Amino acid sequence: MLKIGDIEMKNRVVLAPMAGVCNPAFRLIAKEFGTGLVCAEMVSDKAILHGNKRTMEMLFVDEREKPLSLQIFGGDRESLVEAAKVVDTQTNADIIDINMGCPVPKVTKCDAGARWLLDPNKIYEMVSAVVDAVKKPVTVKMRIGWDDEHVYAIENARAVERAGGKAVSVHGRTREQLYTGKANWDIIRDVKQSVSIPVIGNGDVFSPEDARRMLDHTGVDGVMIGRGALGNPWMLYRTIQYLATGELLGDPAPREKMDVAILHLDRLIALKNEAVAVREMRKHLAWYLKGLPGGARVKDVIMEETDRDRMVAILENYILSLEEEDEQEQNGASSVHTAAEEIIH
């Protein structure tokens, strides 16, 4: 099993800390689907120190989500350390994760996120300062490098280990790649072979079979799933089962998908209020509907919606229409069988 410091997970599947996605509403669903470790979306160190209401809400951890990793980012040592102390003493998160992979310019311009990838010495200084200041285990999530000319994944992971970091998650892309191209699992494997702390692999895990291949190819201690879980927490559950038993479970029925989507919506409303939650839920519903028959048409209607009950009614009517179509198909098939039997007899 995956163990970070003295925190032991019940399996090796980890939900990635996705911005705008991994709030308590979605994290709790991921946990209910069996995920070993869930990671909260990143929070700015300076925002934590300013203590504004929205930021402090982002630090909320439901006891049912634990074990949970709360991720912070920043480019200034003093403010990063002070923010880590807040997470350490004022939240019930289990792990403090430092973001060293965010590629967006507004983060890297502040000398934060993926900008650290260019300087193993800075990584050592920043991580060791945080480790010295807190009691909770400290981990780092990083990319393999800034661009193809600056891939210091091994040096950076070793710096994390020397600084007292308890684990490192490695996304197999450079900052320049963003989310395009292919994740380089070979470099993730090289990192795993270069450090003794746990390594969690991330990138291009979209199916349970992908997770198995990553574990076999890289030898990592855990598999982090991000985009593969969007609107699809079943992917997490199916991966856990596949890794444990080799059994590949089928996809959920459309009604099951919509039931969980509505649960997700209602938890968001409880967190944020209806107007904000319904707007935020539109993107999630686009993911939940992906691949379902006629889902694209329903998505277009939902994108205009601002009311919870109307949104739920649209989903309910959609599912009822799918179920009626299935019933008609089955009745048609059974009448064909009956006619065939009459001809035979």
How many CB atoms lie under 10 A from the CB of residue 209?
A: 13
CA distance 107 to 76: 12
Q: Specify the amino acid at residue 13.
A: V
Q: Is 22 assigned a catalytic role? A: no
Q: Which is it for strands 43-44 and 37-39: parallel, antiparallel or unpaired?
A: unpaired
| 43 exposure class (CB count in 10 Å sphere: 0-12, 13-18, 19+) | buried
Query: Mind giving me the DSSP string for 199-256?
Result: EEEESS--SHHHHHHHHHHH--SEEEESGGGTT-THHHHHHHHHHHH---PPPPPHHH
Q: Is the dihedral of CA 321, 322, 327, 333 positive or negative?
A: positive
Out of 22, 39, 102, 110, the active site residue is 102
CB-based contacts of 211, cutoff 8 Å, min separation 6: 13, 205, 223, 225, 239, 242, 243
List residues with catalytic annotation: 102
